[in-house]
Every structure is written in C-alpha cells, then in structure tokens.
Amino acid sequence: MQDFTGKVALVTGASTGIGEAIAQELLDRGAQVVIAARNRARLVATAQRMDPTGKSVFPQVLDARDPESVRGAVEQTLAFYGQLHLLVNNAGITGPHDVPLNEYAIEDWHAVIETDLSGTFYGMKYGLPAIAAAGGGAVVNLSAVNGMVGIAGIAPYTAAKHGIIGLTRAAALEFAQQGIRINAVGPGYVDTPAMAELPACLRAKMAATHPMGRMATREEVAKTVVFLLSSDSSFTTGAFYSIDGGYTAQ
C-alpha cells in the first residue's frame, strides 16, 4: 500500500476507538496526522502515546456539532503543517438505544444528527477547499451498516448514517475533476474500548449478528479506510464499502 510520507491527514473522533486506529495506521505509513476530538485530556494523552516527539501527531480539540470548531480545526491543521491532503470524518455518536421513534427526545435527535451527519458535512465543507489547494487528495466518511439497513430503536443514528452515504456520493461527483476522491465505509460492530465495557452477553449477541461470528477489530476497519485514502484505490470515488463480516449480505 502507498507510503504517506509528505502527506497530512486530519482524523476526527480520533482520541480513541476506530478513529485512533485510523490515525495510527496513517502514522505508521508515514503521514503527519492531526487527531481531533472533544475530550482534550484524552486527546493529548493519545497524541503523546502515538508520537512522544510531537512532530508527527498534532492534537486538536474539535466539536463536530459546531461548524466554527470544525473550520478552526482545519485552519489549525494548515497553520501547523501547511497543507491538508487526507480527511477522515469519523466523529459520531449513536444516541439512546431501544427507543421508539415517537418516544425519541427531540434534543437527542438533534445531538445525533448534528454530530454524525452535520459534522460530516462541516468536515467536507471546510476540508475540501484545503485539500484542493494542496493539489488533491482523498476523503473517507464513516457511515455504518445502519447506512444500508434499518435498525429499530436508533432511528436518528440510522437516518444519519444513511445520509452520510448520500452526502458522500454527491460530494464525490462535485469534486471528481478536482483531484479529490470521496468514499464512505460501513463498519458492523467493532471491538473498541467502549464496546469492551458492555456486558459479555451483549457483546456476544452483537458478534453473532455477523455471519463471520465475531466483531471487526479496529485495525481491520482502519486498513480499509487507509486503502481508500491511498493511490491503490485511485479510480474509486463515490463508493460505499461494507466492513461488516457479511451483515448486510444477509
């Protein structure tokens, strides 16, 4: 796979979980990486663990719900590294589970939609011009298996993840001739630190929904994302890649 030496990447939601694994994979392949998230303390700790020198990993506080915060993160990326080539819009929340749509609190709806869908829009709105100015690059947006199917009890999350796929495809068409490829991925259940905190019986139930009989590792998701950011996928744009162990093939 492509070496990313000389490339600058911005990954949102990267203080832990899938975002952290994506940032690590990019770093391991030579990129300079801006990791962005809301929790400053966790963000700084992650950056120091990934790169004690502070030269190749730059922590940036970002609230995906706030367009000014997202714009500021892009501006700080340019101020620190001088350019931006790669963007991963990973920040997201699921919101309350097992809540019928008619009982879903309006404030919870807005929190999920603003974080997951609007946050992806803000990331591209401010990130794409910077990538174009650097001569082109690639974007990957994190959808989910929920972007292809309906899952009862988490209607806002399902709606947001469907929306991310549509947003990805529209943006890919708009920027196809500007040297920017834009794709989306849809992980199934992933074995993250947050997932590890759930009861074992619930984790087993989630794992069993995949025909492969297990959850994805964070690294498996990261490698697919980085493939789509690399020149190895140079003719791929506007696509959606499932990383779900066969979940959506059922």
CA dihedral (76, 78, 80, 86) positive or negative: positive
- Nearest to residue 60, comparing CAs of 51, 72, 52? 72
Please calculate the CA angle 186-10-129 and round it to the nearest 5 degrees: 100
Is residue 81 within 8 A of residue 34, CB to CB? The reply is yes
Catalytic residue among 81, 122, 157, 241: 157
Burial class (CB in 10 A: 0-12, 13-18, 19+), 15: buried
- Nearest to residue 12, comparing CAs of 78, 80, 132, 93? 93
3-state secondary structure at position 60: strand
- 98: how many CB neighbours lie within 10 A of its CB? 7
3-state secondary structure at position 16: coil
DSSP 69-121: HHHHHHHHHHHHHS---EEEE------SSS--GGGS-HHHHHHHIIIIIIHHH
Alpha-carbon distance of 185 to 89, in angstroms, equals 11
Active site residue 157: yes
Alpha-carbon distance of 197 to 95, in angstroms, equals 17
- Location of structure tokens 């995906």: 64
Q: Which positions are catalytic?
A: 157
